[in-house]
A and B are shown apart, each in its own frame.
Chain A
Amino acid sequence: MRFSIKQTGCGSERIGNLTGFLKSPGAEIETPTTALFTQGGSIVHLTAEVLSQVFSNTKLLWLPLSNSIHLETGVKVQNDGVAKFAGLQGHATCTTLHSLSESTPMGHFELDRVPLWTKNGKKMISADRYMDVMEIFKPDIILAIADGRTSINEGGKRLSKSVERSYTMLKTCVDRCKTSKELQNSSLVGVVVGSGSEKKLDDSISNTLKHVDSLTGIALQGIVDGTEETMDIDSEILNKLLDKVGKAFPKDLVRIFEGHWNPSVVLSAVEQGWDLFDGSYPVKLTNMGVALKLNFDITKDNDTMYLLDMIDERYKEDFTPILGGCECLACRKHTRAYIRHLLNTREMLASVLLSIHNLHHFDQMFCHARQHIASNTFAVFKQHITKQCEMLKDFAPYRYKAQNGPNVQTEKPSSKKKKQRLVSEVKSNNGS
């Protein structure tokens, strides 16, 4: 896989492309962009058939090992890479250890192994074991295994260990990538950790720089540890971090920023020159029964909410689409009232329709971002989106609902009280 920068904007923002994928040599993915988040190798809630109706071009699949390691046996037998095994041949893949948006129990670490939290509990995993799986999965992009699940408020001792352990593991990943025949077409991405301390972050940066010739990109971890509280970071601090780490590395490395950050944070990262996002944000919204509805037109005022809590009573007889003019299948054929009914009756089609719209719409945000970079108007676009996010600043629905979305049929709807708090928050914010 190759990354090249095609154009830069007024600031650090840039347009690039990813090419040279193993299974789709002719494909090009323009950046900045979002990957499509997967679980068990599949796009969450969407079969390959439905996905092909949402996107017709090659997409990058984001594959955390924590939810896909159980595919190992099958992928090995088939011996044609993880995307093919998951029925998504033709799409590019990027693997990582964990998803930063899933919360896991407090870590227990060993000298050369980190915990991998799977649906079947904890597995301790070494860098060699990680690379063994990579040889079987054959992804286009490999994020080096790292001890990166520390928050920005983490204590110094833990951070030292995190930086030290990540460096040792990076060396193994680099060695294995160089020597493995299976991984000749995979690109390694270095993971910078230790964001909680300037000193530790510097250490991690210089460690990673030692291997920069073997890297196609960098990712920044050590900001959130999976709990939702750690997503509340002062945007100033985050911007400084992104700026510092971005500038510390050669420009032509693709920069990856993980986590289900809201559109405003994502576009700030784009402004700092970050290229690739993991796609967990639209999945999170879908699992909460929320639709994303940004106003991309910078000439139009922001007068409505950018998140719709679709189970709200107000949509009961609303026979309009989620977003008028949206070209996604869900908006072309279905109404808010129908989606609301499906959520209310806990039918799986609710998640399918919300996924279709949210994935399409989030992808559209990046299309617009690239267009604005190309025409040197990115700052205006970013400001326009940030304003919409500020209107709902306190809307943090992920705090009130667990990861279990409306698709869980065996359970009673999530606690009424929590739900009401969520709804009233949206209402009280309406019009502010």
Chain B
Amino acid sequence: MGSATNALIFKVQAECPITRARAALMKLPHYEVHTPVFMPVGTQGTMKGLLPDQLETLNCEIILGNTYHLGNRPGVDVLQKVGGLHKFMGWNRALLTDSGGFQMVSLLKLAEITEEGVKFRSPYDDTEIMLTPEKSIEIQNCIGADIIMQLDDVVQTTFQDHDRIKEATERTSRWLDRCLKAHKRPTEQNIFPIVQGLLNPELRRQSAEEHITKDVNGFAIGGLSGGEAKDDFWPMVSLGTEILDKNKPRYLMGVGLAIDLVVCVALGVDMFDCVFPTRTARFGCALINKGQLNLKQKQFESDLNPIDKDCECTTCKNYTRAYLHCIVSVETVACHLISVHNIAFQMRLMRTMRENIKQGTFPQFVKKFVNEVHPDKNFPTWIKNSLMSVGIDIMED
């Protein structure tokens, strides 16, 4: 037990008296992260044209890198020589890497999964490559992120074949053991197991209960946010946070829409990641509480307001919607400017939630938020039901 605890210390600072939300300090080797936290995704060791300095200014405390991409370029040799991704990209705060398995299965149609690992053809030189749990950890040890992910057996979320889902869930647990055994830097890096089981409550329960017996410092909930109905999504999150250790951080993979963040924090999730805020920026979409503004639309041609008058980011302080409308999808600067705002938006939402949890006003905040998004009180059932399950009745005033 002793060795693993060094690399992550999780201190819950405040708990919501009604919901499962909590605010905590997660001490990692490179930085102390305030949770609940949103982690922007910097796939190839960079965040959509933003300097690491800008990310610090935006109060990003932990960002993501993708093992599959980084393993190819710049490659393990380069990362080994420079002393890890932190040094390579000039980022001094915390990092998290995925296992690379998800990318392979989603990017590469030819992937084949066996008990040994994921077999696929390299898109670079067409050779056959086998990504085993051991290999994934070896690469992630070399990248050197504060938190690394186990290789899991990925099945598409909406997949129906029960036997295959069961096989994947159980294999994920077997691969977890292999990952933990292969881990070479337990005092500097934390492996998070991934709770699998797709939309099957029995398998999810089995997966979570198996994983909490392991000597690890935190957990991820995977296999969701893959196109399933929201009514199917939230009970799986809830099931996960119910079983997983209260004293360890819980990371919900691939979730980042504002409303999803609010609901899942209420369900007890501490960490989130999503490519959406930066990806949508590339298409000229700026995030606001109610959703997003597509700045390409002609209605913004003469709009001298900032994207969001309450936002304190450098884009909102300095640029109008009218100007962004002119340069969106033409100049790279437009993409940088909207990315800055979108990341600032995510950071501000998380900070507001942390503050409300600490002040004991989180349930009120949630009500205010969902009413702002649905002023007509026409709430989707999943929002009503999920919040009701943790003690918030959004229909009552």
Shortest beta-carbon distance from B322 to chain A in Å: 4
Interface residues of A in 162-221 (CB under 8 A from B): none
A11 contacts partner chain B, Cβ-Cβ < 8 Å: no
Please pick, from A48, A333, A349, the residue contacting B314 in the complex, using a CB distance under 8 A.
A48
A85 touches B52 (CB 8 A): no
Known: A40-B330, A342-B46, A348-B48. A49 touches B320 (CB 8 A): no
A70 contacts partner chain B, Cβ-Cβ < 8 Å: yes
Interface residues of B in 78-133 (CB under 8 A from A): 78, 81-82, 88-90
B49 touches A41 (CB 8 A): no
- Closest-by-CB residue of B relative to A39 is B331
Interface residues of B in 329-351 (CB under 8 A from A): 330-333, 335-337, 340
Please pick, from A42, A47, A317, the residue contacting B78 in the complex, using a CB distance under 8 A.
A317
Interface residues of B in 273-332 (CB under 8 A from A): 282, 301-302, 304, 314-315, 318-320, 322-323, 325-327, 330-332
Q: Which residues of B contact A317 (CB under 8 A)?
A: 77-78, 81-82
Pick the interface stretch among A71-79, A270-278, A296-304: A71-79
Contact bitstring A65-87, B, C-beta under 8 A = 1, else 0: 00000110110011000000111
Give the docked Cα–Cα distance between A299 and B82 (Å): 34
B247 contacts partner chain A, Cβ-Cβ < 8 Å: no
Please pick, from B44, B327, B336, the residue contacting A40 in the complex, using a CB distance under 8 A.
B327
Known: A119-B330, A337-B74. A78 touches B45 (CB 8 A): no
Give the docked Cα–Cα distance between A59 and B44 (Å): 34
A351 touches B44 (CB 8 A): no
Please pick, from B74, B78, B82, B340, the residue contacting A49 in the complex, using a CB distance under 8 A.
B340
Please pick, from A45, A329, A353, the residue contacting B333 in the complex, using a CB distance under 8 A.
A45
- Closest-by-CB residue of A relative to B89 is A338
Please pick, from A77, A338, A347, A409, the residue contacting B304 in the complex, using a CB distance under 8 A.
A77
Shortest beta-carbon distance from A428 to chain B in Å: 27
Shortest beta-carbon distance from A240 to chain B in Å: 39
Question: A-B pairs with CB below 8 Å: how many?
Answer: 128
Give the docked Cα–Cα distance between A351 and B318 (Å): 22
**A46, A329, A333, A347, most chain B CB atoms within 10 A:** A347
Please pick, from A40, A78, A337, A353, the residue contacting B82 in the complex, using a CB distance under 8 A.
A337
Known: A74-B322, A74-B325, A87-B318. A50 touches B332 (CB 8 A): no
Shortest beta-carbon distance from B278 to chain A in Å: 11
Q: Which bracket fits the contact residues of B?
A: 35 or more
Q: Which residues of B contact A86 (CB under 8 A)?
A: 323
B73 contacts partner chain A, Cβ-Cβ < 8 Å: yes
Give the docked Cα–Cα distance between A349 and B333 (Å): 11
Known: A40-B331, A71-B326. A345 touches B48 (CB 8 A): no
A50 touches B73 (CB 8 A): no
Give the docked Cα–Cα distance between A48 and B323 (Å): 13
Please pick, from A47, A50, A341, the residue contacting B74 in the complex, using a CB distance under 8 A.
A341
A42 touches B331 (CB 8 A): yes
Shortest beta-carbon distance from B176 to chain A in Å: 31
A349 touches B53 (CB 8 A): no
B320 touches A78 (CB 8 A): yes
B326 touches A41 (CB 8 A): yes
**A39, A119, A338, most chain B CB atoms within 10 A:** A338
A55 contacts partner chain B, Cβ-Cβ < 8 Å: no
B364 contacts partner chain A, Cβ-Cβ < 8 Å: no
A122 contacts partner chain B, Cβ-Cβ < 8 Å: no
Q: Which residues of A contact B333 (CB under 8 A)?
A: 40, 42-47
Q: Which residues of B contact A329 (CB under 8 A)?
A: 51, 53
A158 contacts partner chain B, Cβ-Cβ < 8 Å: no
Please pick, from A85, A337, A338, A351, the residue contacting B332 in the complex, using a CB distance under 8 A.
A351
Shortest beta-carbon distance from B155 to chain A in Å: 29
B50 contacts partner chain A, Cβ-Cβ < 8 Å: yes
B359 contacts partner chain A, Cβ-Cβ < 8 Å: no
Shortest beta-carbon distance from B248 to chain A in Å: 34
B160 contacts partner chain A, Cβ-Cβ < 8 Å: no
Q: Which residues of A contact B45 (CB under 8 A)?
A: 338, 341-342
B54 contacts partner chain A, Cβ-Cβ < 8 Å: yes
Q: Which residues of A contact B302 (CB under 8 A)?
A: 73-74, 77
Q: Which residues of A contact B50 (CB under 8 A)?
A: 349
Q: Which residues of A contact B327 (CB under 8 A)?
A: 40-42
Q: Which residues of B contact A348 (CB under 8 A)?
A: 46, 48-49, 332, 335-336
- Closest-by-CB residue of A relative to B50 is A349
Please pick, from B78, B315, B322, B335, the residue contacting A337 in the complex, using a CB distance under 8 A.
B78
B90 touches A334 (CB 8 A): yes
Give the docked Cα–Cα distance between A49 and B331 (Å): 16
A407 contacts partner chain B, Cβ-Cβ < 8 Å: yes
Known: A78-B304, A87-B318, A119-B330. A341 touches B323 (CB 8 A): no
Q: Which residues of A contact B52 (CB under 8 A)?
A: 333
Shortest beta-carbon distance from A394 to chain B in Å: 30
> Shortest 7 CB-CB distances between A and B: which pairs?
A348-B49, A74-B322, A42-B333, A49-B314, A40-B327, A349-B46, A341-B74
Question: Given known contacts A40-B331, A48-B314, A348-B46, what 10 new A-B pairs fall within 8 Å (CB)?
Answer: A42-B327, A50-B51, A74-B302, A74-B326, A317-B78, A329-B51, A348-B335, A349-B51, A353-B51, A407-B332
Interface residues of B (CB under 8 A from A): 44-54, 69, 73-74, 77-78, 81-82, 88-90, 282, 301-302, 304, 314-315, 318-320, 322-323, 325-327, 330-333, 335-337, 340
Interface residues of A (CB under 8 A from B): 39-50, 53, 70-71, 73-74, 77-78, 85-87, 119, 316-317, 319, 329, 333-335, 337-338, 341-342, 344-345, 347-349, 351-353, 407, 409
